[in-house]
A = this chain, B = another copy of it.
């Protein structure tokens, strides 16, 4: 099976990390490829950035729609392209935030998300509520480190900041599982897990493995109602490719 992991920002450094994770965790029969769009912001720190990243992300997905069996949106958010892709393909699509939160609920009674800058806190609390998991979420805490600092800062410093924040979640908020709340933290899970003594989830890994499972189940996105293929309508001022997916 073939899985496309789309990093929706334009940081090639992040894309490389996602590819490295995919290479390490894919089952033998899985080809997992990480890509990023050629247009959009270098990092995503809110809904404005999400929307700027969306056309490039959708274009990338449409151009590769026939080459893959499933799609990951590798941004730790309730990124709207997850739902847009479900509308235009019946192949399974997963975001890394929802993937890690569902896995967290299978491993403990309550989980916390440790994210980057403060603005992500309300956005991720909102995502938790959207997934219906508010009762299971102990807290969303931020390291208050900007996303792109993950490209640059020394691993030790970053690791320490995440460890400190995760320990507060475990000790003060009663978290039993930690979700790493940024794609830029990909690959740090096992070291943190060893230090913290509770499961630490990398959303990229979770989404990849859940999608392998969904494909193995032989299931697809429902095209009834919410994710029905959208009907044809005229589009102006945008690349023609966007009109090719209408029903």
Contact = CB atoms under 8 A, between A and B. Distances in A.
Interface size class of A (residues with CB under 8 A): 35 or more
A51 B39 contact: no
A155 interface: no
Interface in A228-247: 228, 230-231, 233-238, 242, 245
A238 B52 contact: yes
A25 to B, nearest CB: 6
B54 A58 contact: no
A226 B103 contact: no
Given A119-B228, A216-B209, A230-B46, A107 B55 contact: no
Contact of A55 (B52, B87, B123, B170): B52
Contacts of A46: 84, 87, 228, 230
Interface string A206-222: 10011011101111111
A109 B122 contact: yes
A205 interface: yes
B110 A122 contact: yes
Contacts of A201: 217, 219
A84 B225 CA distance: 27
Contacts of A132: 105, 132-136
A226 B123 contact: yes
A183 B236 CA distance: 20
Contacts of A220: 107, 199
A170 B118 CA distance: 13
23 contacts: A10-B235, A25-B216, A45-B233, A46-B84, A49-B230, A51-B51, A51-B81, A54-B55, A92-B106, A94-B106, A106-B210, A107-B220, A108-B221, A109-B226, A118-B228, A119-B225, A119-B226, A129-B130, A132-B136, A190-B218, A197-B224, A201-B217, A206-B213
4 residue pairs, one from A and one from B, having the closest CB atoms: A39-B237, A209-B213, A109-B226, A108-B222
Interface of A: 10, 25, 27-29, 37-43, 45-52, 54-56, 58, 80-81, 83-84, 87-88, 92, 94, 98, 102-103, 105-110, 117-119, 121-123, 126, 129-136, 146, 148, 170, 174, 176-177, 190, 197-199, 201-202, 205-206, 209-210, 212-214, 216-228, 230-231, 233-238, 242, 245
